[in-house]
Structure 1
Amino acid sequence: MKKVLGILVLSLVVVGGLFAGGQTEAPVPVIWAKSGPEGEALQAAAQAYKDATGKTVSIVIQGRANYRSAYNTALLAGSKDLDAVHDVAFVIPSLAAGGHIVPVDSYINKSAAYDTADFQDVIQREMKFKDKWYMFPSDISSESLVYRTDLIGEAPKTWDELVEIAKKFTRSINLDSPTQYGYAFAAAPGVLEGTFQGIMKAYGASLVDDDGTLRIADSKTVQAFQMFVDMRNKHKVVPSDVIAWDYPELLTALQEGIVPMAAFFTAGMPVLVDANQSPKVAGNIAYSKQPAGPFGAYTRINPLGFMVNAKGQNTEGAIEFLMWLTGKEGSYIYTKAGGSSPRKSILEREEFYSARPWYPEML
């Protein structure tokens, strides 16, 4: 009897120990980002966060090709493989309306230190859906004209002028051209729509009316898009495979002297002007506003940030990190590492102006 009682007591002690001290820790938060400056900056910031807090965040860098479709598939399938994901703000409405990402108002608004007034109104609007925050703002990037100053004395003022300069620097047209093609832009699936924004506005076009009516067949929209089509098919001043190009291809083409100018992103400019990373062209790179069309010159501004997966395993841990990352301390560390925080207090810091002379124009 004593032996049986002893076994029962021992069993209760073991079971009690399991219940008291055997609780499993929350899994490490997982955040997806695509390769490029933002991904590299995110990894550096996550390490700084771990050094400061002892808390680990897993940063999973995905290839840029099919990145958006990959995370959309994961979110729509209710995957628990990620807790948060980085992308541009225009994807928010569809994901928020479908309940695939969660609002983060309760975290942002209750923290006075987060200081939402440090973000311009336009950034705040882009981060919201139905007046609720669905994205932590991490980056601001613009897509405009980048050109080689040692080859092109002055940036083209109009799109027609750009085409003529591009012909001069296309070797199939001018055998003496130092570059193979005269121009390039990002036209990969899922990317071209954004690239089109600048030239579209310059021609007075719009894909959608204020009342939601599609204007794809509108004469102004067709005229604007025809410029891109003719550059590839008629004038042949851009690579034929430009329809698969995104940031990495544009960066390489500029670094290696394949093109003298391109529609490029400010996020990648620090790489281009760094002599260690771009030794062939650093010192001869300038950033200019987009060429003008009949309705003026327009430059596309891209706010980016992090969305939280509605089905994530450790969304609380991810949110804690993202509040720090996009707060004032984390934003500075992230920007120093190659990101580009949209906080006014960051854009106003003159220490960034030598490598990012376009910052004052973003205020």
Structure 2
Amino acid sequence: MTAVVMTLAGCNAAGGGGTSANGVTNLKLIMNPGPEADAMSKVMAGYNQGPGTKDKIHVAVDQLSRTDTYAKEATLMSTKSSDYDFYQTASYYIAQHAQYLEPLNLNAGQYYKGALDSLNVSGKQYAIPLDPSVHMVFYRTDLINAMLKDKATYEKISQQVLGKTLDPKSPDQWTWDDYIASAAYFTQQYNSASPTKYGTALQAKNLVYNTMVWDDVLWNLGGNWLDSSGKPNLTSDAAKQAVNVYRTIYTKGLTAPDSDQAEFPETQAALSSGNAAFALQWNAAYDQLNDPKQSPKIAGKIGIARVPGPDHLSHVHTLAVGVNKYGKHVAQAQKFIAYLDTVDAMKSYVAAGGLATMPGALAGQSSASITALQGILKDGTYSEPKLARAFDIYTALASDLSGAWVGQGSVDDALNKANSDLASLSGK
């Protein structure tokens, strides 16, 4: 830990920090390298050349490693370091990070409520939301249109797979039974005329972010990690049904056998190759799927629907920036946050390649995925309980449940283990 802190402190010294001879306060933000940090750098450049000259503040991004930035932040936070004035955080870390962050006073009316609330702990806002992530069903419009006209075949296959006769529906009307039946319709094992080998692509690898996708099934079946009294609730009927949705899709062959090792890239490959008709996927997937160069087989044929279920709710998390409460320049850092807390600054962030959770900053965007994102952020999101060890909980649930998702072992045993780990990690 000491070695890491000394290394980071050395980087900070080399990059500046503190107040310069001309009275300008230099502020630094630690961030993962990538498009978000690149976009933030451009926003900072605009601030430095404009309002920053009046405020006598200069801000900069320090891009560390995409694989372990949060681990390095944890070391800095635990030692109450003042090396950085801002920390990158996220909805799934905010309860852990809150004790090291200064509360913010944001103009809440400018944001989508669900995204903003995902960064609120015990009634206090600890970070300003930037890029949101939600889930959408991406589907082949040409294939779904053909399915809607083939009622007889669909009814026969739904009866075979689910033991009930269902009518074909548009994806925006799907329940999880409809999702399963439609996946079977587009699986050649059940429908030799299907143009795709499998109906869907399941993200069932033992991976923290795959838990977030599975949570969509749980929440839309009326479940939650916790019950109404705050106790672990992963042995509920809804949790059993949610595991069985994945288990049915995998064991009945409605997704490729290697789905037990699949996540975002494999789902993209299944869709873009024409090997699957639809899938539940992250919103970031759309541009690649609709790009004629990257996905020539399906570009121009991709529709978007919300997550199946009565309320069509999607998990939401946001990348975010918070102020280090142990920094030497908290007041100046709050001034830059106030700058970010404007539609104009967030429009600049979006123009530079980032995303935003402000309706005003996304207004005028023509992409179908942005339009769908706006609708979901407006009234179609939930966020998991904000627990101090939330990221560890996601990780444990992936480990406990991923085998059961693909037919290994007992559903009850897997959920009992998950519930026990949830209780231990949450302290509830």
* TM-score between both structures, scaled by the size of structure 1: 0.72
Structure with greater Cα Rg: 1
Contact 1:33 1:87 in 2 (8 A): no
Which of 342, 345, 348 is equivalent to 2:360? 345
- Taking the TM superposition and a 5 Å limit, the aligned residue runs for 1:214-293 are 214-232=232-250, 234-292=251-309
Structure 1 residues 224-283: Cα deviation after superposition (integer angstroms, max 9, x where no partner): 221112322x11323444455443333333233332211122233234334344433221
Structure 1 residue 157: deviation in Å? Answer: 1.8
Match of residue 91 from structure 1: 93
Q: Kindly provide the CA deviation profile for residues 72-106 of structure 1, in whole angstroms up to 9, marking residues without a partner as x.
A: 7546654968765545424322332xx3x31232x
Q: For 1:357, what is the secondary structure of its paired residue?
A: helix
Quick check: 2:201–2:276 contact (8 Å CA) kept in 1? yes
How is 1:65-80 mapped onto 2 (pairs within 5 angstroms)?
A: 70=71, 74=75, 78=79
CA shift in 2, pair 1:103/1:256, >3 Å:
farther
Q: Which runs of 5+ in 2 are unaligned?
A: 1-19, 50-57, 146-169, 379-428
Judged with a 3 Å threshold, the aligned counterparts in structure 2 of structure 1 residues 345 and 297 are, in CA distance, closer, same or farther, namely same
Please report how far the alpha carbon of residue 177 of structure 1 lies from its aligned counterpart in structure 2 after TM superposition: 4.6
Please tell me whether residue 57 in structure 1 is matched to residue 61 in structure 2: yes
Q: Greater helix share, 1 or 2?
A: 2
**Residue matched to 1:130:** 122
Q: Is the 8 A contact 2:196 2:276 kept in 1?
A: yes
**Equivalent position of 1:116 in the other structure:** 108
Paired residues of 2:36 and 2:353 also in contact (CA < 8 A): yes
Name the aligned partner's letter for residue 263 of structure 1. L
Deviation string for 1:18-51 (max 9, x for gaps)?
xxx999x9887243237xxxx4143134134325
Distance 1:213 1:242, change over 3 A: same
* Distance verdict in 2 for CA 1:102–1:275, change over 3 Å: same
Mapped contact 2:187–2:198 kept (Cα < 8 A): yes
3-state DSSP class of the match of 1:260? strand
**Residue 165 (structure 1) aligns with:** 182
TM-score normalised by the chain length of structure 2: 0.62
3-state secondary structure, aligned to 1:146: strand
Judge which range, 319-328 or 296-305, deviates more. Answer: 319-328
Q: How many pairs align?
A: 321
Residues 1:210 and 1:263: Cα distance change in structure 2 (over 3 Å)? same
Distance 1:178 1:316 in 2: 60
SS at match of 1:254: helix
Q: 1:355 to 1:224 in 2, by over 3 A?
A: closer
| Bigger mean CA deviation after superposition, 273-282 or 306-315 | 306-315
Larger relative contact order (CA 8 Å, sep ≥ 6): 1
For residue 182 of structure 1, give the secondary structure of its aligned residue in structure 2.
strand
Root-mean-square deviation (CA, aligned residues, Å) is: 3.7
Which residue is equivalent to 1:183?
Answer: 200
1:285: how far off? 0.6
- Deviation, structure 1 residue 357: 2.5
Q: After the TM superposition, which of the residue ranges 333-342 and 217-226 deviates more from structure 2?
A: 333-342
- Distance in 2, matches of 1:176 and 1:79, equals 63
Whole-angstrom distance in 2 between the partners of 1:300 and 1:359: 10
Structure 1 residue identity aligned to 2:289: L
Identity score, percent: 22
Structure 2 Cα separation of the partners of residues 27 and 181 of structure 1: 55
CA contact (8 A) 1:163 1:231 kept: yes
Residue 288 of structure 1 deviates from its aligned partner by 0.6
**Paired residues of 2:31 and 2:37 also in contact (CA < 8 A):** no
Structure 1 position 160, deviation (Å): 1.8
